[in-house]
Structure 1
Amino acid sequence: MVDHGPRTGDLVALTFDADMTDAMRYQLRSGAVRSYANLAIIDLLERERVPATFFLTGKWVEEYPGVTRRLAGNPRFELANHTYGHLAFTADCYQLPTIPRQRMAADVARTFDVIAPYGGRQTRYFRFPGLCHDRAALTELAPLGVTVVDGDVISGDPFAKSWRPVVDAVLSRVRPGSVVVLHVTEANAPMTDEALPRILAGLAELGLRPAPLSEVLGARPVG
């Protein structure tokens, strides 16, 4: 389990969670919500040639196959696993329904299977919904050979009402080797696309450079 990479150098990882619960799927399909895929974020990352890592839920991939193909097709983007339906792996985790312990490994394995056909820079990185995990959850996932990634810079972008607190949260905590947790789920994190250009500018002023998660964590660059 890792929170950040080495504190040397100038690299940081921008990671974006793509949540999708059954409740979110219902909101989307009923028309109550317009989108859980913030294309403005992807547009900016592509335009500015910024590397990023996306933690995808299987259900999000199923709702947005075209967007997933777009992410997989960008050599600067890495794909990682955020469970199939964003269920909680511990009790009392942001009011999320809890997945039974005996289903945990199958849920995560299923998500890898959903992502696999899209190709691109796929990883064995995994993030728990809500960052909620305990020894039991880690034990269940151990046979899958995943690297659990939490993050040391929590942006607080879900349900933010302004971009300012998101930017402040990131720039006040970020350091070399940091793993920044953001979201690409537009309706649930509506300010992230406004915060992102300011975060990028702030990182540049601090002399920090976004890189794929594998490089920030010290792995050999992919490709």
Structure 2
Amino acid sequence: MPSGLHARSHTYYKRLILGYLLFCLAALFCFSNRIYAETEPVVGEPDSHEVYLKLKKGERVWKDKVYVAPQQPTVYLTFDDGPSKLTGQVLDILQQEEVKATFFVLGKQVEAYPDLVKRAVAEGHAIGNHTYNHVYGELYKGFSSFWEQIERTEDILAETVDIRPSLIRAPGGTFGNFDAFYFYYLDQAGYEVHDWHIDSGDSKRVGVPASEIIQTVRKGPFQDELIVLMHDGTGHEQTVKALPEIIRLFKQKGYVFAVLQPSVQPKHFAVGKVQQPRPSSEAGYEKQLAEAKVHELAMSALEQSRHAQQAADKANHSESSPMIQETAGGVSTSTVVGTKGSLLLTNHTRTAAAPLEVLLARKSLKLDTEHYRFKDGHYQVPLRQLMESLGGDIQWRGEQRTAVAHYGLHTLEYDFVQQELRVRDHGTTTTIHLPQMELQEGTVYVPLRGTLDKLRIGIATYGPEDGVMKVQVGMNLRL
């Protein structure tokens, strides 16, 4: 055979064999993929590491949810930064116009004007969480700071109006403030974050005139479902003046008014470049995600308990069950089975008549009715017994009349001279004036829920069982 023909023949056979091998490999790949596809579960929890990588790239990850679209054009009037002295005037106008709205409140303002929040709830308005102090430098330096303010305000609202809102609005909106991690943690915790469609412009500078506010709202954009941003905080007298005309504008356009609820699809701004750099380690991500899931489980248990209690009340199975308070945009804590941070019953005059058992990770603290108190709807327990059961320690400084409790990196100083509680956490000190604490016959009594929260432990569920009130602590307990 000529050498050229031999070479071409050799090349041909090499290509033929290579093609055959490639065909076999492709068939094997397809077959293995088919087996994998058939054995892979259809649904399941996303891989935590993969989610972390997506979030780090700026991708947003959401839980599957079902929202309900309104049957007619609906507008949600929302007011931020209150309550303040102006909130009563806003409520008067809403009452005259027979309109319901949503108030995103600041925790420190709720402490200053609790009666106005109570009035808003009593008149059928929804309450949302707008953090505690609205200070951007604290809220957006890292999610843990934002989370602490959300939980602090949630606790204040639970104590003031007996609800824990699932609605959140970020001060300044989410654009440029939230990253993908912020959205993800709050979503996993069971919250709904709401931005807005129409900004009334009442806060773009001091003293924006009512005529300009009305004109800004008049420009829209208008669609079937609208969230309108306004403010009822100090300095917004012109917003109050503009409100009647804004309400008339939407009535003329055929809108109905409603309050935001978890069933309303939220408006989210795009993720912009954040103003402050934030460290993001996978270990920190896992820790924060665990806390978020504890909160979501607790809220779910509370909601299920509320529905169960409603069914029981309807069927008249128990005349002694606590009343259930209907809320919009939040969950009532007035249920037999509670959650992290609740332990608050509607019937504040009820006396404790059952032993109390706090279920920890590997042990429990049992107290009979003589060794704990039930005051103003809260369980108060001996500080020493609680700390020692948790694996912490406590010292009594007699000259300063101060009890010092240590748990991990947390220190709680109960000062009975200054009547204050100093919380030291990772080098930061927070002072709480006139805290809930009592010194009786050498025993320091502290609120069970509040103390666990300050130690970053929290409460998952609680409820009566076999004649004992059992409290299950959160998953993030450290012993």
Paired residue for 2:173, among 131, 134, 139? Answer: 131
Give the whole-Å Cα distance in 1 for the aligned partners of 2:93 and 2:234.
Answer: 14
Which TM-score applies when normalising by structure 1? 0.77
Distance in 1 (alpha carbons) for counterparts of 2:97 and 2:164: 22
Answering whether residue 153 of structure 2 is matched by residue 111 of structure 1, we say: yes
Task: Look up the match of 1:16.
Answer: 79
Q: Give distance in 2, aligned partners of 1:138 and 1:218.
A: 15
User: Equivalent of 2:243, from 167, 184, 196?
Assistant: 196
TM-score by length of 2: 0.38
2:207 maps to 1:152: no
Could you say what secondary structure the match of 2:167 adopts? strand
Decide whether the 8 Å contact of 1:160 with 1:191 is kept in 2.
Answer: yes
- Per-residue Cα deviation, 1:71-123 (whole angstroms, up to 9, x for no partner): 12112x001100111122xxxxxxx5554312221221111111113337763
Structure 1 residues 178, 162: closer, same or farther in 2, change over 3 A? Answer: same
Q: Which runs of 4+ in 1 moved over 4 A?
A: 5-8, 96-99
Which structure shows the higher strand fraction?
Answer: 2
153 and 121 in structure 1: CA distance in 2 versus 1, 3 angstrom threshold: farther
| Number of residue-to-residue matches in the alignment | 197
CA distance in 2, matches of 1:14, 1:129: 17
Q: Note the alpha carbon deviations across 1:2-39, whole angstroms, 9 max, x for none.
A: xxx8486221100101258xxxxxxxxxxxxxx65342
Deviations 1:50-77, CA, capped at 9 Å, x for gaps: 10000011011011112111112112x0
Contact 1:59/1:84 (8 A) holds in 2: yes
Tell me how large the CA RMSD over aligned residues is: 2.9
Give the conservation status (yes or no) of the 8 Å contact 2:167–2:262.
Answer: no
1:151·1:181 contact (CA, 8 Å) conserved in 2? yes
Given residue 130 of structure 2, which amino acid in structure 1 is its aligned partner? H
Contact 1:177 1:217 (8 Å CA) reproduced: no
Residue correspondence of structure 1 range 65-84 to structure 2 within 5 A: 65-75=114-124, 77-84=125-132
SS in 1 for 2:181: helix
Greater relative contact order: 1 or 2 (C-alpha under 8 angstroms, separation 6 or more)? 1
Distance 1:71 1:122, change over 3 A: farther
How far residue 210 of structure 1 moved from its aligned partner, in angstroms, is: 1.2
Q: Structure 1 residue aligned with 2:186, among 119, 141, 144?
A: 141
Say if 1:86 and 1:129, in contact at 8 Å, map to a contact too.
yes
Please say if residues 38 and 186 of structure 1, whose CA atoms lie closer than 8 Å, have aligned partners that are also in contact: no
**Cα deviation code 1:105-146 (max 9, x no counterpart):** 122111111111333776301000000322232244344321
Deviation sequence 1:178-206 (CA, Å, 0-9, x none): 0001101141x221111111011111111
1:138-164 deviation line (CA, Å, top 9, x unaligned): 244344321000011111112343112
The 3-state SS of whatever aligns with 2:127 is strand
Q: Which amino acid aligns with 1:59?
A: K
**Which one of 80, 84, 92 corresponds to residue 43 of structure 1?**
92
Relative to 1, partners in 2 of residues 1:7 and 1:55: Cα closer, same or farther, differing over 3 Å? same
Is it true that 1:207 corresponds to 2:254 in the alignment?
A: yes
Letter in 2 for 1:165: E
Unaligned 5+ residue runs, structure 1?
Answer: 21-34, 89-95
What is the CA–CA distance in structure 1 between the aligned matches of 2:74 and 2:87, rounded to whole Å? 25
Q: Distance in 1 between matches of 2:192 and 2:262?
A: 14
- Hey, what's the Cα distance between the residues in 2 that align with 1:120 and 1:171? 37
Match in the other structure for 1:85 = 133
Mind listing any 5+ residue stretches in structure 2 that lack a counterpart?
1-61, 63-67, 267-325, 329-479
8 Å Cα contact 1:73/1:120 also seen in 2: no
In the alignment, residue 202 of structure 2 is paired with which amino acid?
D
Distance in 1 between residues matched to 2:90 and 2:181, nearest whole Å: 35
SS of the residue 2:240 aligns to: helix
Q: Is the 8 Å Cα contact of residues 154 and 170 (structure 1) preserved in structure 2? A: yes
Distance 1:194 1:84, change over 3 A: same
Change (3 A) 1:120 1:53: farther
Is the 8 Å Cα contact of residues 8 and 177 (structure 1) preserved in structure 2?
no
Identity %: 27
8 Å CA contact 2:82–2:103 kept in 1: the answer is: no
The one-letter amino acid of 1:74's match is: E
